[in-house]
Amino acid sequence: MTDFVDSFEDEDPFDSAGLRLTVDLTALTENWKEMARRSGRARAAAVVKADAYGTGIEDAGEALYLAGARDFFVATADEGVTLRPYAPDARIFVLSGIWPGTERKFFGYDLVPVISSEEQLAFWMAVLADYGDHPCALHIDTGFNRLGLSMDDAIALADDVSRPASFAPVLIMSHLTCGDDHSSEMNRQQLESFRQVSAAYEGIASSLAASAGVFLGSDYHFDLTRPGITLYGGEAVQGMKNPMRPVVTAEARIIQVRTVTAGQFVSYGRALQLTRDSRLAVVSAGYADGYLRSQSSGGVPLRQVVPQGGQGFLAGRKVPIAGRITMDLTIFDVTDIPENAVRAGDYVELFGKNVLVDDVARSAGTIGYEILTSIGLRHERRYLVEEE
Dihedral (C-alpha) 278, 284, 285, 287: value to the nearest 10 degrees? Answer: 90
**6 confidence band (pLDDT: 50, 70, 90):** low
Note the CATH architecture for domain 39-232: Alpha-Beta Barrel (3.20)
Pick the CATH number of 248-384 from 3.50.50.60, 3.30.200.20, 2.40.37.10, 3.40.50.720: 2.40.37.10
Q: pLDDT by residue (tens digit) across 65-110?
A: 999 999 999 999 999 999 999 999 999 999 999 999 999 999 999 9
Instruction: Give this prediction's pTM.
Output: 0.94
Q: How many CB atoms lie within 10 A of CB 192?
A: 10
Average pLDDT over residues 260-276: 96
SS3 43: strand
**291 confidence band (pLDDT: 50, 70, 90):** very high
The whole-number pLDDT of residue 386 equals 84
What kind and span of H or E run contains 255?
Answer: strand 248-260
From the candidates 105, 220, 232, 268, give the one annotated as an active-site residue: 268
Do residues 372 and 234 touch, judged by C-beta distance below 8 A? yes
Model confidence at 130: pLDDT above 60: yes
Indicate the domain borders of the chain.
39-232, 248-384
Is 268 catalytic? The answer is yes
Do residues 234 and 212 touch, judged by C-beta distance below 8 A? no
Q: How many CB atoms lie within 10 A of CB 65?
A: 20
Which backbone phi and psi does 163 adopt, to 5 degrees?
-65, 145
From the candidates 49, 232, 287, 347, give the one annotated as an active-site residue: 49
Model confidence at 3: pLDDT above 70: no
39-232 with 248-384: one CATH topology? no
The whole-number pLDDT of residue 299 equals 92
